[in-house]
Structure 1
């Protein structure tokens, strides 16, 4: 009959960390450096987004809206000539004014919010 092998007891005192050559361990080759974190973002340039020019809005009671009919006027919250909100996928990107280009509406950006571009390409 063969002897059953007994598992050897592990003693933490038997470990000698000096045997590991940690000084040869290079953090640059094993972990991403700051330079490699800056990635090529060209892949994201082809992802479609929806750009919306929001003229104005108004919060009203549903009952008042149900009374509205053809020819009714609902006063909105922006003044005439005030810059309009530009939204990308529903998030505010900046402000613009309406222009006409080849008989189509367009927008001319007046300002772009810093928060809209934070973290992109940096």
Structure 2
């Protein structure tokens, strides 16, 4: 083995030992810091009780709350004359002039749905050549806001 190889090995060994010493010193410092922190936690005083003050706000009574903010909200209103069940073949055969029989009779009340929820029943009328619905019964009216 040449002198150069021996010197290179010694330099590498010395560098490895220096890195190992640095790592050991870092680990020792970390352990010291952890012990110090643990000692601080053990010396800390236990949490005492405290009382929060009551919050006082400008809360309005329910009768003063206004529904005016909701008056411009769009709702989906559907009026259901009746229902029927058809197989795909029958649907594909529908043409102009086809008659679809519903499960309700003429004169039976129709259902009024708001956003998919039944809210009323009514009767179909014709007024100035337009169909309209007269509300005959409110469903769950105790939940409606006046």
> Could you state the TM-score of these two structures normalised by the residue count of structure 1?
0.65
- What's the C-alpha RMSD, in Å, of the aligned pairs? 3.5
Give, in angstroms, the shift of residue 42 of structure 1: 1.5
Matched, 1:29 2:61: no
Counterpart mapping for 1:68-107 below 5 A: 68-107=94-133
Q: Which has the higher helix share?
A: 2
Unaligned regions of 5+ residues in structure 2, if any? 1-35
**Aligned pairs, number:** 109
Could you say what secondary structure the match of 1:94 adopts?
A: strand
Unaligned regions of 5+ residues in structure 1, if any? 1-5
User: Which has the larger displacement, 7-16 or 57-66?
Assistant: 7-16
Give, in angstroms, the shift of residue 53 of structure 1: 1.7
Q: Greater relative contact order: 1 or 2 (C-alpha under 8 angstroms, separation 6 or more)? A: 1
1:9 paired residue number:
41
1:64 paired residue number:
90
Give, in angstroms, the shift of residue 109 of structure 1: 0.5
CA distance in 1, matches of 2:93, 2:107: 29
